[in-house]
Structure 1
């Protein structure tokens, strides 16, 4: 009896040790990387699904990217990645949800630029510390803004538009999906560098702003290619310029702001993958390697091209430095705009 009890206890100790090891290694055990084909990684499918947080509503660029990457992650690892939309407060709700999760690789999130850069200067307080409660994992790419105007505006080029705005023959309103978001701040930057006046009108979603431009209640808006393509296909709005270093493959005839005499408008919107703060470096590195791998997949590359994203490989440390540089750059712009959120 004593020997049976001791054996049972030994088995239990071994089982506990294995559970602790699995929790510590987390996604590392699941991925089975190092050149092993996905077919050989089938035991991973028996593990719990990975929660993939998208901090914005369904239908937008963030959601579209999250679903494309979740599908690719699942195919590469044999493990289920489930997108969970947690919209609200400029991405802060999704960020807080991620920060509360266990740092074991079972929860990750897609992040947009404002969540880790401008929000810290906009909000009186944040639910998380974006430097300590988040582990940067992998950079996905930049997505440019396209400046579009209502079709009734008598301007076909940027110089014509700026001249019309400076003539003050009519008021120009531009919209965004909320005070302090990237489109709003980009509009404030445009005002300053182009030397024009226009009034910001906040809405609940970027889709609403496009409807308002088509209706003529807004004169212009800065939006992403993903949201604009259906409208441009039917000439519902007029594109003027793109804020990127190079012309878009999807809109090769559209000049950049730099070409038109307004340099310094680097693409303001970017996306990346993050994990909860305290996630072990080996898990972060494996996610980084996996993300780099799937970004070479034809289906993912096609999706990135569709939204106008220009990818760039970064290590987790490089991504962290990039976030710090972007945060410093946008601090001045936020202060100039006077935008503040509670």
Structure 2
């Protein structure tokens, strides 16, 4: 009964103003539509049809279905992933320009390049891991090497050292070889190529006896018998290569390495938007379509919270910073 008495004591102008203000509330609420309200751009900082597309294309398609807006992929290659990543950093922090990339511009390039156009830890916010594939150490079958112990004996019997191919300076393939060389105390000569394909070609031809590569890239050649898998770099054996031991099982501890692909937004993106992107991505990754992508790539389900994925990225950055400094690798 106090409400009417209280209102009765208010002046006519006050009541009119109050009524007008209340009438505006629904209109103000209607002017704050839920995100997203327009198409999204997913930047892949690598050439089209590369390994990052294994993650980006099915994720983009699924997000489009879940979020109800088109998701357009833009490949912006250059400088080891730095060009496309910088484009995301320079875009507004509104969740409409996103990044799917391998680990290079996130956890490696900051140690390789003297000058960087961004600071990944400061300028990007992790959304979720998308794919995480162990690498596999392969040899040319003509080498006669059948296991990791045999490979290490082969290298130690060559005082001048043995060449090992990789897909380029500072790539996970290169740095995994450095990690292996350090852990096993071997003399390995790093031979960089412009991409995985030419490196594989030279191993197939016998010009270089061995290399590390991602399961997705090298698996067809393992199946055909053109290269022999010696060990995988995961914490456990791969379901795609159950008979191939891990590096630790083969006698070399401390060589755990993955080719991983993550989903990022610009730092400063509103947390509700980051959370919505995370929930949508995990929903996509649990679909049968994406599960097939994981199986074909040799990846387990690695959908994660933004906070936990950030911890993983930080640990990877520390690990590769040590290896880059130890190897002396640089790209400028």
TM range (shorter): 0.7 to 0.9
Query: TM-score under structure 2 normalisation?
Result: 0.87
Q: Does 1:242 align with 2:248?
A: no
Q: For 1:245-324, what aligned pairs fall within 5 Å after superposition?
A: 245-324=235-314
Equivalence for 1:224: 214
Equivalence for 1:233: 223
Equivalence for 1:29: 35
Q: What CA distance in whole angstroms lies between the structure 2 residues aligned with 1:207 and 1:339?
A: 22
Residue 176 (structure 1) shift: 1.9
Tell me: CA distance 1:168–1:100, structure 2 relative to 1, closer, same or farther (3 Å).
Answer: same
The question of whether the paired residues in 2 share the 8 Å contact of 1:53 and 1:110 is answered with yes
Residue 321 (structure 1) shift: 2.2
Deviation readout 1:190-248 (Å, 9 max, x if unpaired): 11111211111111111110011111122111111111122122211111111111111
Q: Which has the larger radius of gyration?
A: 2
Q: Secondary structure at the match of 1:118?
A: helix
Q: For 1:23-62, what aligned pairs fall within 5 Å after superposition?
A: 28-30=34-36, 47-62=37-52
Equivalence for 1:44: none
Q: Secondary structure at the match of 1:200?
A: strand
Tell me: CA distance 1:18–1:340, structure 2 relative to 1, closer, same or farther (3 Å).
Answer: farther
Q: Secondary structure at the match of 1:108?
A: strand
Which of 115, 122, 140 is residue 112 of structure 2 equivalent to?
Answer: 122
Equivalence for 1:183: 173
Q: For 1:151-162, what aligned pairs fall within 5 Å after superposition?
A: 151-162=141-152
Query: TM-score under structure 1 normalisation?
Result: 0.85
- Of 62-71 and 315-324, deviating more is 315-324
Residue 48 (structure 1) shift: 3.3
Q: Which runs of 5+ in 1 are unaligned?
A: 1-12, 23-27, 31-46
Q: Does 1:212 align with 2:212?
A: no
The alignment covers a number of residue pairs equal to 308
Which of 54, 76, 81 is residue 66 of structure 2 equivalent to?
Answer: 76
Q: Does 1:139 align with 2:129?
A: yes
Equivalence for 2:89: 99
The question of whether the paired residues in 2 share the 8 Å contact of 1:61 and 1:307 is answered with no
Equivalence for 1:112: 102
Q: What CA distance in whole angstroms lies between the structure 2 residues aligned with 1:78 and 1:218?
A: 49
Residue 170 (structure 1) shift: 7.1
Which of 157, 164, 185 is residue 195 of structure 1 equivalent to?
Answer: 185
Q: Secondary structure at the match of 1:111?
A: strand
Q: What CA distance in whole angstroms lies between the structure 2 residues aligned with 1:20 and 1:119?
A: 42
Equivalence for 2:13: none
Which of 304, 327, 330 is residue 337 of structure 1 equivalent to?
Answer: 327
Residue 59 (structure 1) shift: 2.4
Equivalence for 1:67: 57
Deviation >4 Å, runs of 4+: 16-20
Q: Secondary structure at the match of 1:144?
A: strand
Tell me: CA distance 1:19–1:54, structure 2 relative to 1, closer, same or farther (3 Å).
Answer: farther
Residue 77 (structure 1) shift: 2.5
Q: Which runs of 5+ in 2 are unaligned?
A: 1-23
Residue 19 (structure 1) shift: 10
Q: Secondary structure at the match of 2:254?
A: coil
Residue 20 (structure 1) shift: 7.6
Q: What CA distance in whole angstroms lies between the structure 1 residues aligned with 2:38 and 2:250?
A: 52
Q: What CA distance in whole angstroms lies between the structure 2 residues aligned with 1:250 and 1:329?
A: 26
Q: What CA distance in whole angstroms lies between the structure 2 residues aligned with 1:306 and 1:248?
A: 11
